[in-house]
Amino acid sequence: MNLFGKVTRASFYFVAAFDTAIAHAAENMPGGPAVNQLNFAAPATKIMQEIHWLHWMMLIICALIFIGVFGVMFYSILKYRKSLGAKSASFHESTTVEIIWTVIPLLIVIGMALPATKTVVAMKDTTNSDITIKTTGYQWKWGYDYIKGEGDGISFLSTMSTSREAINNLAPKSNTYLMEVDNEMVVPVGKKIRLITTANDVIHSWTIPAFGVKQDAIPGFVRDTWFRADTIGKFRGQCSELCGAEHAFMPIVVNVVSQDDYTKWVEEKKKEMGAASDDPTKVYTLDEQKERGAKVYAANCAACHRPNGKGAGTFPALDGSKVVLGPKVAQYNILINGKSAMPKWAGVISDGDIAAVMTYTRNAWGNKTGEIIQTQNIVSARAGK
């Protein structure tokens, strides 16, 4: 291609990129950031209202001090300059001035610290909660376990639902691009939700700006925080602690619903979980396991091993892998226990899901072992049999 061709092609890409940028810049994201938003997220909790108020109060005080100090300074520089014949006064050690310039700043600091401390203390007060939810950060998704209050026993993983095609500009991007998940956290409006955060691999951070909540999720530790949403609706946030290659792809969506809708959701979710819980003795066909395994793979493994099983960088290819095509016991081990950057899956996804995804990897792409792994195999492997 000649230079002219290259230039026109480059400008075509440039215009195309610009076009899509404009198409997306035009809409606010429901529950997420708005177009040209400069201020904090609109508050959906009382804590966030207080944070807004503190922010503006302090910003205004700082702006007034700035204007006052620089006003006097520039006024003095201009009005009393040497070329106008100003003579400098000579004085020092004025006790009155020293008292004034100590007491006034002290009062300002106390005036800002008191309400700020009140809010910080309130943010940490997780007592008397109605519902407790444990949230676990994984590379790269969130797990939610409802452990106390209405809905206890519910447990699920929440993975970003934006498609790879949309990320790679091969499909249109939705209005909630990168901020949408398959399973949203659902909570009732007006109830105090205590959130316990922890992590499985590296440090993540659970955040919903509209709630005024940001809490690190640290492996081996539990931290807690809380929120009480005042408004029904969806609220979006993102993992806020750099946690690896797909850090940008583990959004958080909280769906705040009415008490009635919450009760309905709890019933449905429990039914769904009952249906999904595996009878470990059930024997599945190859096609059943492959179909289920493909879903498990897309949700849990494709981020590292890629959808085509070819791997990338330090993530090994599963297509043609010696482990996947070799003796099953080696693969049980790595799936159940993990290995270096390969996460441990036992207890994270169900034994049935592990069996299905193992069957899938052994029969996907160029791998054609024809072997079916049953839930029972994983149960036995876990028991060391």
**What does 300 bind: Cu ion, ligand HEC, none (CB cut-off 5 to 8 Å by kind)?**
ligand HEC
Written as six digits, the tokens of 268 are 């449905």
The alpha helices in 221-321, defined as continuous H runs, are: 259-276, 286-300, 302-305
Site for ligand HEC in 83-142 (CB under 6 A): 139
Closest CA to 195 of 123, 272, 249, 120: 123
Q: Closest separation between CB of residue 177 and ligand HEC, Å?
A: 22
- When binding is defined by CB under 6 A, the residue of 303, 364, 373, 378 that contacts ligand HEC is 303
Q: Is residue 183 at the binding interface for ligand HEC, with CB under 6 A as the rule? A: no
Q: Which is nearer to ligand HEC, 139 or 183 (CB)?
A: 139
Q: Is residue 331 at the binding interface for ligand HEC, with CB under 6 A as the rule? A: yes
Within 8 A by CB and 6+ apart from 363, the residues are 286, 290, 369, 370, 371
Q: Which stretch binds ligand HEC (CB under 6 A): 22-30, 147-155, 283-291, 330-338?
A: 330-338
CA pair distance 235, 30, nearest whole angstrom: 8
**What does 239 bind: Cu ion, ligand HEC, none (CB cut-off 5 to 8 Å by kind)?**
Cu ion
Q: Which stretch binds Cu ion (CB under 5 A): 87-95, 146-154, 202-210, 322-330?
A: 202-210
Q: Closest separation between CB of residue 345 and ligand HEC, Å?
A: 5
Site for ligand HEC in 281-300 (CB under 6 A): 300
Q: Strands of 193-199's sheet, edge to edge? A: 155-158, 141-148, 131-138, 193-199, 223-227
Q: Is residue 141 at the binding interface for Cu ion, with CB under 5 A as the rule? A: no
Q: Which stretch binds Cu ion (CB under 5 A): 82-90, 121-129, 148-156, 204-212?
A: 204-212
**What does 256 bind: ligand HEC, Cu ion, none (CB cut-off 5 to 8 Å by kind)?**
none
DSSP codes joined into one string, 181-231: BSS-EEEETT--EEEEEEESSS-EEEEEGGGTEEEEE-BT--EEEEE---S
Q: Is residue 239 at the binding interface for Cu ion, with CB under 5 A as the rule? A: yes
Q: Is residue 243 at the binding interface for ligand HEC, with CB under 6 A as the rule? A: no
CA pair distance 315, 305, nearest whole angstrom: 6
Q: Is residue 243 at the binding interface for Cu ion, with CB under 5 A as the rule? A: yes
**What does 331 bind: ligand HEC, Cu ion, none (CB cut-off 5 to 8 Å by kind)?**
ligand HEC
Within 8 A by CB and 6+ apart from 203, the residues are 137, 216, 217, 218, 219, 241, 243
The answer to whether the beta carbons of residues 330 and 342 sit under 8 Å apart is no
The answer to whether the beta carbons of residues 26 and 35 sit under 8 Å apart is yes
Q: Is residue 157 at the binding interface for ligand HEC, with CB under 6 A as the rule? A: no
- When binding is defined by CB under 6 A, the residue of 187, 196, 202, 357 that contacts ligand HEC is 357
Q: Closest separation between CB of residue 292 and ligand HEC, Å?
A: 12
Site string for ligand HEC, 333-352 (x = CB under 6 A): -xx---xxxxx-x-------
Query: Residues touching ligand HEC: how many (CB under 6 A)?
Result: 25
Q: Which is nearer to Cu ion, 140 or 262 (CB)?
A: 140
The answer to whether the beta carbons of residues 114 and 126 sit under 8 Å apart is no
- When binding is defined by CB under 6 A, the residue of 40, 177, 249, 315 that contacts ligand HEC is 315
Q: Is residue 312 at the binding interface for ligand HEC, with CB under 6 A as the rule? A: no
CA pair distance 35, 42, nearest whole angstrom: 13
Closest CA to 251 of 281, 208, 214: 208
> What is the identity of the amino acid at 140?
W
Q: Is residue 314 at the binding interface for ligand HEC, with CB under 6 A as the rule? A: yes
Task: Show the CA angle centred on residue 26, arms to residues 20 and 29, nearest 5°.
Answer: 105
**What does 204 bind: ligand HEC, Cu ion, none (CB cut-off 5 to 8 Å by kind)?**
Cu ion
CA pair distance 276, 278, nearest whole angstrom: 6
What contacts 24+ positions apart, CB below 8 Å, involve 3-9? none
**Sites of contact with Cu ion (CB under 5 A):** 204, 239, 243, 250
Binding site residues, ligand HEC, CB under 6 A: 139, 300-301, 303-305, 314-316, 318, 321-324, 331, 334-335, 339-343, 345, 357, 361
